[in-house]
Every structure is written in structure tokens, then in C-alpha cells.
Amino acid sequence: MHDDRTLVEARLKRVLDERIRPAVYPESVPLAVGIWTAPGEPVPVAEGLAAPRTPIAVGDPWGAPWGTSWITVTGTVPEAWAGRTVEALIDLGFDANMPGFQCEGLVYRPDGTPVKGLNPQNQWVRVAAPAAGGEQVLLHVEAASNPVILDYHPFLPTELGDKETAGDRPQYRLARMDLAVFDETVWQLVMDLEVLGELMAELPVDGARRWELLRAVERALDAVDLQDVNGTAAAARSQLEGVLAAPAVPSAHRISAIGHAHIDSAWLWPLRETVRKVARTTANMTALLEDEPDFLYTMSQAQQFAWIKEHRPEVYARVRKAVAEGRFVPAGGMWVESDTNMPSSEAMARQFVHGKRFFLDEFGVENHEAWLPDTFGFTGGLPQIIRNAGSRWLLTQKISWSQVNRFPHHTFLWEGIDGTRIFTHFPPVDTYNCSMKGSEIAHAARNFKDKGVARHSLAPTGWGDGGGGTTREMVAKAARLKDLEGSATVRWEKPAEFFAKAEAEYPDPPVWVGELYLELHRATLTSQARTKQGNRRSENLLREAELWCATATLRTGAEYPYEQLDRIWKTVLLHQFHDILPGSSIAWVHREAEATYAALAAELEGLIGAAQQALAGPAGGGRELVFNAAPHPRSAVPAGGAAVAVVHGAACEAVERPEGGFTLRNGLLEVVVDADGLIASVVEVASGRETVAPGSRANLLQLHPDFPNMWDAWDVDRFYRNTVTDLTGVDSLTAETGTGQASVRVARSFGSSTVVQTLTLRAGEQRVDIDTEVDWHETEKFLKAAFPLDIHTERYAAETQFGHLYRPTHTNTSWDAAKFEACNHRFVHLDEPGWGVALVTVSTYGHDVTRTVRDADGGTTTTVRFSLLRAPRFPDPKTDQGLHRFRHALVPGATIGDAVREGYRIGLPERRVTGSAERVAPLVEADTDALVVSAVKLADDRSGDLVVRVYEAGGGRARGRLTTSFPLAGAVPCDLLERPWDGTRGEVTVEDGTVCLALRPFELVTLRLRTAG
């Protein structure tokens, strides 16, 4: 037979585009349209409904950036349409390619009840089915003129990302505003032809099925009268029944589809807009659930449920009902889909505490999956946290975005630093915005790496990012793909149903050990430094507030601020969302985040101050008490307690060197700062060991050009290292010897920026403190601080949640080489047997480690560089401009234990309070440094029990005691939600009023301690 395949395929495309799709709405009449533009921020629904409208016509411009317009459409269903299905078509000026990234609307009835959301892929509102004819139509649309930030030419700097700079030029023109007859038969024909045409394109040309589909499509097109599509659509459909009824082959891949909208809690829109995005999408999805009996929808992020509950109670009522029916499925168990690289141990734990508790309290639902489709990499500490939250599965597709290496599995066990294994699935469809296109379904089946031993994968289906959710077209396609020859099969299934099946069919899956590193978006560890500092400051202040408030409650009977701490935690957790903490949102988001963090800091300082004063007693007592919130004692002050300050006797000095620069000494370290203000030498006095590599100088600031190929705020591309400027020019270099400390101050200027650094030695501390103040006015540059160390090692440790993990210092494999920018929490540590160095930081997360071998002596120089600042121009054109302060420290001769201790200490400085008490005993005290207390708080159930979280921090075995300063009635191991839990693997016993613990490497234990009497 002659090969006419391409001819028929081209015919299908043209007839669908030009004749069949337009016939879905064969008749229409225009609606009358009126508009009212709210003067500023969004107004309450009642106000928007009541405001007077002025007429506006199709084609007219509307909508200043970030504005809200209330649009009213009115019309009458023609009498001639009696018996037909009638819909309103409301096109606000949509670009069909940008659902979620453009203007949007929420449709209300005159009484204020929401109907559904409008977006570029969802422009219809059902008016009558069947129509009686003569119905009056009156609908209101709360229309948000959100500007396009990510345009066809992506990543161009724009001032549209903040209402303060966006101007007021209208962004859209009203397009179609009609009442129209909806011809369902034609619409079904479109669905048939799209499914079969898309499947056909994926099938092998030498296979019979492809040709069977081609001939069936041809017969259907022959049956269509192009001048009477509506009259012939049914006949055309009947030509397709046979090929649509052919069942899938037994070995077909099985896709569990779940309706979804991955809504970014803030990104190219501010937080307040996400509240409305969630309401629009949720209104749509509850409506779709009513229309489609097989359909299931899932939504993650407890925060988004809480928003609708607070701001759109009428939508929330629909959600509650659908959740109760088991069809609207809360997914995951976190407050938001957070970043996982940077949140502290406690914050990562609280994401699950608050997320799971919300679902339990609101719906009585406990999920067992962590749902993080879009998060930029996963730490080795996360598996244990997931398990301690009472969950056991993880879903993400993000690792498919890695630039270099293809991950070897889609379904596997992921093992964390402590040995916890989590059953993990990466949907092979490689998107969280599946739209049921044939190409996506075929890609999932082909791409699935576990074929032969497993058969199931999951497909989150619906428009995401900016919202929208699943469409009726996607549901119609899924119905046709349920059991169709040549295709993977598709069923609507809940995440838990998928995981149960996937786990059952794959009893011995492969294992991946350690972090799930995303080989992309590495610069999110650095961009928007103030947001990152606000997060870390809040985490530290929350630790202090919980500790001192709990101590004050148990000691003095002070009220414990349950509600305030709950609210503050939730605010901090929200800002750990995977586009806020990573620094990838518009300027508006980061400007607001900075203000929010400042307000939280003031509030937490107030709580801490009041609790400490209550513990210290009246200020008139005249005694200065030092409070130590760190988990290790310092200067005779116990961990978690307070004591009268002790003045350290040892002397510190700064001596000028004849060749320029200064020498700092404190009896523990001797530090040479040369005439360029760089650290030429750091010798540990006890061992005589030099820290700085020969021929190198430490604390060298280096400036790189930094213009990645894409995703400016997210990415740093490897070639940034090809060009570097060492900042060695000195404006001034001075030294100062003060009480208990000696320091050198160096000022430099470069480009349009200035930097002042102070290097300090303190009495009794084996540590060089480095305070950096940068007035940063560069464009597309990357600022690093380099520490070339005389250390020969193949790997180094970086702190993560509840422990640390190792990464190579070399680039042997493509996997090693891809980790050229990585995350640390408070320290990185390198050692040779018997001697090591730590670099510690308050809030710098990005770093790199490289090695070279010296010609002169054959020794190895291992260089650690902290990533201080970047200056990308998208999506915030002024990212990181202005003043920044950082604190880092170099700790020579450090063990891992020293690194852990100094890491906590640098972020939790001692506080001095004048009172009458001599001492505040810690509520709990560990008798070994390896047992680190990560939280001390009162139980969330307000029982008055004390909750203490402890982990083994060194990577070894820890056996020790927790002593309480109150009579102890019992200690119960709990999960993170503070529920008694038998999953704790360590030994926990109570003997003589103390808790005896034996923990494995990095093991985490939550204890509920009951006080006696």
C-alpha cells in the first residue's frame, strides 16, 4: 500500500484546528461587560460585588500590574437555545501558553458564592444544561491583573516584580466575552482525536497499531461534513469506537494519575496573591470533582488549606466536604513544600509537626508520604526526619532536572546519614504539571528505569506553579487512557494507593545512600542573603525563646506563650517555601520577608528578655548573669542555663610586624595578618601546626563574573570559575587590643562596593572570628571568601539536619564534579588523622571545596570557599544590593565535636542579664558532648510536660545521661508530633531520676519528660 501517513497526520491537525475545535461552541451572543478597578490591594468580596461598574468592551485594555478589577457580565440566553448546554466564555486576555503566570479570575454568583476560577486553560462557566431559554445571566469576576514576569524571552530583568516599581500600564485587553452553546458531542470528538492522534505519534511506525489508528482517524475525518461538523460529529465518533475499545497489553506501564496543582506559595507573585490563587484553583477542583465521579484531586501544604480556611471560608466548606468524601486528598505532611537544604534540624522537624497536625486536626487524616515534587535537592538528614514524623514515603520529580547525571532509579529506597531508609518515587513523567498528553504518557512509560521488576508510576496531573489544576479535558483524556492498546494505562488514584501498590510490587528495590543532590539551582544557597539571614536568625531566636520560656514556666510559673510561638513558627516555616528561602522570588516577596523577619525578631527578643528577667530576678540585684542557649557549656556557664559571668584572665595582643601587617596572639593561636590584610599564617600553639597552605593566604575575597545561561537567581554555571579577581587592595589596615580580645580591621573597595572585615582572637578561644560588612553594589558577580588549608583529604564533612555528611574534595566522576557548589549548615570540617580544621558560619549556606597539589613541596592545598553574595537580575533586578553583615570563624585543630560546638556557639551568642540570682540551672543537661540537645520546649498539648529533642552529633555511638533539675516522673520516647512512639531505636531508660540514653550515629530521639508533683 502507498505510504500516505504524513498526509493523514497533517489533515488531522488542520481539520482539528480549523473546523472541529471551533465547532465546540457553534453559536454565541455577546455579554454586556462592566468593570470596577479597586484602588489598591484586593478588597473583600462584598465590597467588590457592591462597587459601581463602568462599561468596558472587548478589545479594551484593563488591569494595572498587580491590580484587582471586578468585572460583571450580564446577558440573556436566547429562546432558541432551549434544550442546549450553555456556557459563558470569559477570556480576560489570556495567553493559552501561560496558565498561572498571567491574569486570573474567580467567578462569583450575585450572592457572593464562588463558582470557579478562570485561567488561560479554563475560560468557561456552565450557565445552563439544558437551558430553558430566556435565562438571565449575571456573573461577577474578581480579576487579578498579575503581570507576566517569565516571558517568552525568559529571564529578562523587569521592574514588574514589585508593585512599588511596576507602574500602572494596563497589562491585558478583554478578549471573548460571550454566551455560547456548548456542543458536547463535538467536544468528545476533539478528545477522541487528540488522544488517538497523540498516541499514534508515539507508536513505532513499523507497528500495526499505529496504522490501525491512522486508518480509523482517516475514516472519522471522512465522516465529518466540514460544513456541518455539529451534525456529523456523532458519526465521526462511531468510526473511532473500535480503536478506542482495544485494551492495553498486559505488560503496559501503569500510571496512577492524581489531580494536582503545584502552587508555589510565593514566587513570581507575592504571598497575598497565592491566597487567591489557591482559592481559584480549589474552587475549580471542587467543581470538577462534582462533575467527574472518577476524578481524585490532591493538594499539599497545610498553609494553603489554612489560607482558604481563613480567607475564603465558602471555598473551604467545599474542600472539607470533598475531603470527607475521600476525593480531595490532603497530600504530604509539611506546612509548606519547603526547601530542604537550608532549614535547620528543628525547622525541618517542625515543617512536619505543623503540617501533619493541621491535617489531623482539620480532617482526621494522617499521611505517610512526604510530597516535595519541586524542591531543589534533599539532604541526607531528611529520611530520619520523615520517619520520626510517622511517615515512610517520599515523592519528588525534581532530580530529573539535574544537568549532568541521570538518576539510575525511579523507585528506590533512599538511605539517610543515620541509616533510615525511605521508600521513594520519582515520577518518570518528569513533571508535576502532567496534562495527559500522549507524549507525556509515552515518556513516563519509556523513561521508567525499573521496568521488569516494577510497573507503577505516579503522574501529578494539572496546571501548577501558578495554579489552575486539572481540566475537564485532562479528565476526558485519562478516561480514554484507562485501558487503551499501545498506551500505558491511567487510573485516578490517591498517593497512598499508589505507594501501597508500588511498595507491594517491589519488595527489594535498589538503595541510594546519602543526599539527593540536584545538579542545578546551586546558587539558591546564596541568592537573597537577607532572606537567608532572617530565616537563620528566626530559627536561633525560636530555640532560645522555647528554652527560656519553658525554663521560666517550670521555675517561676510564668505563662508559656503557646499561641505566640505556634504563630511565629508557622510564619518562619512559610518563608522556608522553596522559592522564598532559596531567594528565587520577585523583589516584592523578599522585601516583605525582610520586614516580616524583623518583626519576628523583635517579638522573639521580647519573649526571651521577659523569660530571662523572670529567671534572673529583679534587675536591682546587681548581679550580671550570662545565659547560654547553646547545647554545650561555655566559660563555666552550663548549656541551657545561666551563671555569673567569669572574666577570662588570659591575655590577647595585636603586634605590628616590621614588614607590614600584624600578629595576633592569645596563647592558643598565633595569627599573621600580612600587609594586604590577608591571613598568611595561623599556627596552633599547642601542636605547632600551621593551618594555612604554604604559598597561600586565607580569608581571601574573590570576585567572579556570574551570568548563568538560565535561571539567574537559581543557577551558577561551572564556567563562572574561569575568571576571578582576588581582592587584595587595602584602603586601611589597623589593629586594636581590647579587654579579652585583639583584632585587626581591614577595609577594601572594589567595583562600586566596599568591604570592612574584622579578624578577632578572643581570650581562651581557639578560633579566629571574622566579621564582614559589605556594601554591595555589583551586577552579576559572585563574591567568595577563600581559605586555602594545608590539609590532605579525599572528603570533607558539611553539617546538615541532625548530623553531617561527607562530600569528595576531588572530581573523579561526573557525579563528584557536578557538586561544585554545595550546602552546609553551621560548619564544614576537614581533617587528616589527628588534626583538623573547621570553618563555621551563622548563615552562609553555599560553599565549594577544591584541591590542588603544590609543586614546591608536594603537599595538598584544600581550599574551602564560603559563598557570600551574588547579584543576579532576575527575577529581582536588584538582588542583594546594599549592606550585608556576616560572621564566620576559622577553628584550627578542630575535631568534628569542636565543629559542632563552635557551629552552635557562633549563632547563639551569650546574653547578659542583670538580676539577683546566682545561677539558673539548666532544665536538662547532657553529660557528654556527643548528645546534643536540639530543642527544649513545653509539649504542644499543653499538658505541662517538657519535650526535649536530642541527637548524636558526632557520627559515632553515644552513651550518656540527661540530668534534669526538676523531679522527673518519667521519660517517654515520642515521634516529632510528641506522640508516644515505639519507633525509637536507641535505648531510653530512667534510672535514679536521670534519663540514660544509648544512641547510634546521628540518631535522633524526642523525649516527653513528666515532672513529678
Q: How far is the CB of 761 from Zn ion (least distance, A)?
A: 45
Q: Among 95, 151, 225, 374, which one carries the catalytic annotation?
A: 374
- In eight-state DSSP terms, residue 993 is T
Q: Which range, of 31-39, 371-379, 555-563, 842-850, touches Zn ion by CB under 5 A?
A: 371-379
Residue 374 binds Zn ion (CB under 5 A): yes
Q: How far is the CB of 337 from Zn ion (least distance, A)?
A: 7
Residue 264 binds Zn ion (CB under 5 A): yes
What is the distance between the alpha carbons of residues 811 and 851, in angstroms, rounded to a whole number? 9
Q: Which of 68, 65, 109, 73 is nearest to 91 (CA)?
A: 73
Given a contact cutoff of 8 angstroms between Cβ atoms, the answer to whether 976 and 389 are in contact is yes
What is the distance between the alpha carbons of residues 589 and 580, in angstroms, rounded to a whole number? 7
String marking each residue 4-33 x if it binds Zn ion according to CB under 5 A: ------------------------------
Q: Which range, of 32-40, 56-64, 262-270, 918-926, touches Zn ion by CB under 5 A?
A: 262-270
Task: Considering the complex, state which of residue 399 and residue 703 has its C-beta at the smaller distance from Zn ion.
Answer: 399
Instruction: Confirm whether 374 is a catalytic residue.
Output: yes
What is the distance between the alpha carbons of residues 411 and 414, in angstroms, rounded to a whole number? 9
At how many degrees (to 10) do helices 529-556 and 562-574 cross? 160
Residues near Zn ion (CB under 5 A), total: 2
Buried-exposed string 241-255: b where 16+ CB fall within 10 A, e elsewhere: eebbeeebeeebbbb
CA-based angle 119:276:109, to the nearest 5? 70
Q: How far is the CB of 401 from Zn ion (least distance, A)?
A: 11
What is the distance between the alpha carbons of residues 562 and 560, in angstroms, rounded to a whole number? 6
The 3-state secondary structure of 731-786, one letter per residue = CEEEEEEECCEEEEEEEEEECCEEEEEEEEEECCCCCEEEEEEEEECCCCEEEEEE
Q: How far is the CB of 54 from Zn ion (least distance, A)?
A: 38
Q: How far is the CB of 578 from Zn ion (least distance, A)?
A: 6
β-partners of residue 758 are 745, 771
Q: How far is the CB of 487 from Zn ion (least distance, A)?
A: 28
Backbone phi, then psi, for 648, in 5-degree steps? -75, 135
Q: How far is the CB of 816 from Zn ion (least distance, A)?
A: 28
The residues, any chain, with a CB within 8 Å of residue 111's CB and separated by 6 or more, are none
Torsion on CA atoms 88, 93, 99, 100, rounded to nearest 10: -100
Q: How far is the CB of 264 from Zn ion (least distance, A)?
A: 4
Q: How far is the CB of 267 from Zn ion (least distance, A)?
A: 7
The residues, any chain, with a CB within 8 Å of residue 703's CB and separated by 6 or more, are 724, 725, 727, 750, 751, 778, 781, 782, 783, 784
Q: Which range, of 367-375, 475-483, 536-544, 860-868, touches Zn ion by CB under 5 A?
A: 367-375
What is the distance between the alpha carbons of residues 69 and 603, in angstroms, rounded to a whole number? 36
Q: How far is the CB of 161 from Zn ion (least distance, A)?
A: 17
Strand ranges, E, within 285-402: 297-299, 328-330, 369-371, 393-395
Q: Which residue's CB comes closest to Zn ion?
A: 374
Q: Which range, of 261-269, 327-335, 494-502, 1005-1013, touches Zn ion by CB under 5 A?
A: 261-269
Task: Considering the complex, state which of residue 263 and residue 761 has its C-beta at the smaller distance from Zn ion.
Answer: 263
Task: Considering the complex, state which of residue 102 and residue 743 has its C-beta at the smaller distance from Zn ion.
Answer: 102
Task: Considering the complex, state which of residue 264 and residue 975 has its C-beta at the smaller distance from Zn ion.
Answer: 264
Task: Considering the complex, state which of residue 460 and residue 708 has its C-beta at the smaller distance from Zn ion.
Answer: 460
Given a contact cutoff of 8 angstroms between Cβ atoms, the answer to whether 751 and 764 are in contact is no
Q: Which range, of 15-23, 260-268, 630-638, 675-683, touches Zn ion by CB under 5 A?
A: 260-268
What is the distance between the alpha carbons of residues 817 and 815, in angstroms, rounded to a whole number? 6
Q: Is 8 helix (H, G, I), strand (E, B) or coil?
A: helix
Q: Which range, of 72-80, 209-217, 374-382, 700-708, touches Zn ion by CB under 5 A?
A: 374-382
Task: Considering the complex, state which of residue 383 and residue 582 has its C-beta at the smaller distance from Zn ion.
Answer: 582
Task: Considering the complex, state which of residue 264 and residue 292 has its C-beta at the smaller distance from Zn ion.
Answer: 264
Q: How far is the CB of 528 from Zn ion (least distance, A)?
A: 16
Task: Considering the complex, state which of residue 300 and residue 753 has its C-beta at the smaller distance from Zn ion.
Answer: 300
Task: Considering the complex, state which of residue 124 and residue 577 has its C-beta at the smaller distance from Zn ion.
Answer: 577
Buried-exposed string 166-184: b where 16+ CB fall within 10 A, e elsewhere: beeebbbebebbbbbbbbe
**What kind and span of H or E run contains 680?**
strand 679-684
Task: Considering the complex, state which of residue 464 and residue 897 has its C-beta at the smaller distance from Zn ion.
Answer: 464
Q: How far is the CB of 295 from Zn ion (least distance, A)?
A: 23
Please name the amino acid found at residue 28: S
Given a contact cutoff of 8 angstroms between Cβ atoms, the answer to whether 872 and 527 are in contact is yes
Task: Considering the complex, state which of residue 433 and residue 867 has its C-beta at the smaller distance from Zn ion.
Answer: 433
Q: Which of 48, 579, 598 is nearest to 269 (CA)?
A: 579
Q: Which range, of 257-265, 627-635, 689-697, 945-953, touches Zn ion by CB under 5 A?
A: 257-265
Q: Which range, of 128-136, 373-381, 832-840, 854-862, touches Zn ion by CB under 5 A?
A: 373-381
Instruction: List binders of Zn ion among 75-104 (CB under 5 A).
Output: none
The 3-state secondary structure of 390-458, one letter per residue = CCCEEECCHHHHCCCCCCCCCEEEEECCCCCEEEEECCCCCCCCECCCHHHHHHHHHHCCCECCECEEE
**What kind and span of H or E run contains 727?**
strand 725-727
Backbone phi, then psi, for 763, in 5-degree steps? -60, 130
Task: Considering the complex, state which of residue 374 and residue 415 has its C-beta at the smaller distance from Zn ion.
Answer: 374
Residue 546 binds Zn ion (CB under 5 A): no
Please name the amino acid found at residue 446: R
Q: Which range, of 138-146, 264-272, 350-358, 455-463, touches Zn ion by CB under 5 A?
A: 264-272
Q: How far is the CB of 262 from Zn ion (least distance, A)?
A: 6
Question: Which cell numbers hold the place of 788?
Answer: 586555602
What is the distance between the alpha carbons of residues 152 and 81, in angstroms, rounded to a whole number? 41
Task: Considering the complex, state which of residue 108 and residue 376 has its C-beta at the smaller distance from Zn ion.
Answer: 376
Given a contact cutoff of 8 angstroms between Cβ atoms, the answer to whether 481 and 453 are in contact is no
Question: Which cell numbers hold the place of 722?
Answer: 574561569
Instruction: List binders of Zn ion among 512-541 (CB under 5 A).
Output: none
Tracing cell 506546612 back to the chain, one arrives at: 335
What is the distance between the alpha carbons of residues 694 and 703, in angstroms, rounded to a whole number? 22
Please name the amino acid found at residue 554: L
Instruction: List binders of Zn ion among 158-187 (CB under 5 A).
Output: none
Query: Which stretches of the chain bind Zn ion, using CB under 5 A?
Result: 264, 374
Catalytic residue annotation = 374
